C-alpha cells in the first residue's frame, strides 16, 4: 500500500484554503503503482459473478475501465448531467452548497445486473451514494463500491455501508 500512497500527490489549499487535495493523476502516470492499484481493486472480485463495472466521472472511468477489462465484464459510465447523448436516468444529490446530478443511459445496466462501483476517492460519499441509488433504480444489484483513497474523517464509507453496500478503500488519508 505504500507504493500506492506514495504515488498520490497532495496539493495543499486546493480548491480552497484548508483542503488537502489528493491527486491520483500521479498514481495513474506511474505504471507500477497504477497496475498495483488495479490489481488490488480487482482481487476481492476475481471469480465473483459480476456483470458490469460502473465508474464515476472522470477518474472512475479510468480505474473502472481497467477493472472491467481485468474482470472481463462491461463498463457503465456514471456521468454528470447533460453529458450522455441517449435517454438517461438521473439522480440528484445534495452538495455542501447546493445540489448536483449524475446520470446513466437507461440501457447502461439491465435489471438483475450485478454491478461493482469504482471511483478514485471517497470523501463524504454523496456522489457515490447517488450513483448507488441510480444503479439500483435501474434494477442493478450493487455488490460493492471500491475506491483508491478514503478520507475517513468525512464519513463516506459509513454513509455507503448504511445502504448495505460493502466498501473497499486501498489507502486512507487523515483530514480533508
**Phi, psi of 33, deg, nearest 5:** -70, -40
pLDDT single digits (tens) 88-141: 999 999 877 789 999 999 999 999 999 999 999 999 999 999 999 999 999 999
Average pLDDT score over residue span 34-45: 98
Is residue 63 within 8 A of residue 35, CB to CB? The reply is no
pLDDT of residue 176: 62
Task: List Cβ<8 Å contacts ≥24 apart for 22-25.
Answer: 22/121, 22/149, 22/151, 22/173, 24/59, 24/120, 24/121, 24/148, 24/149, 25/59
Catalytic positions: 59, 96
Mean pLDDT over all residues of the chain?
96
Query: Chain centroid to CA 31: how far?
Result: 20
Domains (ranges, CATH) in the chain?
Answer: 47-172 (3.40.50.2020)
Q: For residue 132, give the C-alpha cell.
A: 448507488
pLDDT single digits (tens) 68-81: 999 999 999 999 99
Amino acid at each position: 500500500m505504500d507504493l500506492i500512497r506514495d504515488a498520490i500527490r497532495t496539493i495543499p489549499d486546493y480548491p480552497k484554503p484548508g483542503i488537502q487535495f489528493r491527486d491520483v493523476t500521479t498514481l495513474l502516470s506511474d505504471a507500477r503503482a497504477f497496475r498495483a492499484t488495479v490489481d488490488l481493486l480487482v482481487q476481492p472480485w476475481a471469480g465473483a459473478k459480476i456483470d458490469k463495472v460502473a465508474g464515476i466521472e472522470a477518474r472512475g472511468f479510468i480505474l473502472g475501465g481497467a477493472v472491467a477489462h481485468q474482470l472481463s465484464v462491461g463498463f457503465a459510465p456514471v456521468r454528470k448531467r447533460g453529458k450522455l447523448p441517449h435517454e438517461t436516468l438521473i439522480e440528484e444529490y445534495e452538495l455542501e452548497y447546493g445540489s448536483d446530478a449524475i446520470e446513466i443511459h437507461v440501457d447502461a445496466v439491465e435489471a438483475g445486473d450485478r454491478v461493482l462501483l469504482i471511483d478514485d476517492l471517497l470523501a463524504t460519499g454523496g456522489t457515490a451514494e447517488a450513483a448507488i441509488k441510480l444503479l439500483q433504480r435501474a434494477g442493478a444489484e450493487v455488490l460493492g463500491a471500491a475506491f483508491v483513497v478514503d478520507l475517513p474523517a468525512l464519513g463516506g464509507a459509513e454513509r455507503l455501508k448504511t445502504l448495505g453496500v460493502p466498501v473497499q478503500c486501498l489507502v486512507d488519508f487523515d483530514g480533508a
